[in-house]
Amino acid sequence: MSQVNTSKSNSDSTRRALPPATSRRAFLARSLARSLAGAVATSGLMPRPAWSENDDPERTGVEFVTPEAQRAVERGLSFISQQQHDDGSFGSSGYSRDVAVCGLAGMAFLGSGSTPGRGPYGQHVARCVDFILANTQESGFINVPGSGSHGPMYGHGFATLFLAEAYGMIHRADIREKLSKAVNLIINTQNNEGGWRYQPVRRDADISVTVCQVMALRAARSAGLYVPHDTIDRCISYVKRSQNAADGGFMYMVQGGQSAFPRSAAGIVALYSAGIYEGTEIDKGLRFLMESLPRGGVFNRESHYFYGHYYAVQAMWHAGGDYWSRWYPSIRDELLARQRDDGSWIDSICQEYGTAMACIVLQMPNNYLPIFQR
């Protein structure tokens, strides 16, 4: 594997210098607000009402990022950067060249403030974009035939999400062209229940794959692409029907089943991504998640650990208040205790996946990425 050259390039006139870190959050928040205001009439996704002063992410987020957490992120990002292949992909095991791993690694770099071609990891982000564009088929399906995968629509959703976030930062025509095709594939493969599953076909659906798609749609809409109102309405209906009335958690499929932490975190974030920020479903779901508040001892027992906490930290960040102030320090300290000497985090999929997920979780208070912003 070879490290990617991180030298700064000024050849692309669309690459603009970043605002200072202290003003970048406000800059992105203003940009997102303008995007939401302009897109709401055509997308069907409603923006969240303005938060109160006490919920301002400038006040409720950054103080939770301790020097130890920042050093852990820096070590994690350094590890990921050293694993990037020459073609922009990642993965050292059965998930080598998986587009989901590439998309999530790219999101981890973006979450630190780098953008395509700019910042300490700008060239790594640019390579991520290039790899995903190169593997976007004419149909819009983002997939590398033969690469390891838990299900190709997971990869498509994560890759589309990353591509939408990157496009929002550098409005390149080639990115928009393929992003538009990827978004249309999601829209056109929604099944009759209102969700999605492993393959890009209108067949069955589960809550886990569905949240990947609706987050990608939300990010694309925020970047200026069209998303039909009906697609989101049917998705909301599907997610709500996936909730267990008894405990507030979410089933894997609407046909029935028990609640579990990872899919319940995904269910709440699916509702947030679809523009549902308040209501019984949210309240009950958050209470269910709080039963899994990290306490340092669940790491090796909880299946789909990083997947679950990737969504759980988003849910708590959007919920704010006591939910956030209790959850983030708990998962932060648990992740710090589990980081390996080389800066990575271990996961059954691959180290690059686990490390990218951990870095995204720890960087949530940065509030840099529009898809995560309150």
* DSSP track, 7-60: ------TT--PPPPHHHHHHHHHHHHHHHHHHHHHHH-PPPPPPPPGGG-HHHH
Q: Distance (Å, rounded) from C-alpha 51 to C-alpha 60? A: 12
What's the pLDDT score for residue 60?
Answer: 57
- Quick one: which H or E segment has residue 113? none
Q: Distance (Å, rounded) from C-alpha 76 to C-alpha 71? A: 9
What's the pLDDT score for residue 207?
Answer: 97
Q: Distance (Å, rounded) from C-alpha 27 to C-alpha 34? A: 11
pLDDT in tens, 244-262: 999 999 999 999 899 999 9
What's the pLDDT score for residue 143?
Answer: 96
**How buried is 148 (Cβ within 10 angstroms: 0-12 exposed, 13-18 middle, 19+ buried)?**
middle
What's the pLDDT score for residue 297?
Answer: 57
- Among candidates 342, 344, 366, which has minimal Cα distance to 354? 344
Q: Decide: 162 and 106 in contact? Cβ < 8 Å.
A: yes
Secondary structure (3-state) at 259? coil
Residue 166 neighbours by CB under 8 Å, 6+ apart: 106, 110, 115, 116, 125, 128, 129, 175
DSSP state of 115: B
Q: Which domains does the chain have, with CATH numbers?
A: 21-372 (1.50.10.20)
What's the pLDDT score for residue 269?
Answer: 98
**How far is the CA of 118 from the CAs of 3, 186, 241, 356, in angstroms?**
17, 30, 43, 19
Secondary structure (3-state) at 281? helix
Per-residue pLDDT of the chain (374 residues; tens, 9 = 90+): 434 333 333 333 333 233 333 344 443 443 433 333 333 333 445 444 434 445 555 455 778 899 999 999 999 999 999 999 999 999 777 788 999 999 999 999 999 999 999 999 999 999 999 999 999 999 999 999 877 667 899 999 999 999 999 999 999 999 999 999 999 999 999 999 999 999 999 999 999 999 999 999 999 999 999 999 999 999 999 999 999 999 999 999 999 899 999 999 999 999 999 999 999 999 999 999 999 999 865 544 467 999 999 999 999 999 999 999 999 999 999 999 999 999 999 998 899 999 999 999 999 999 999 999 87
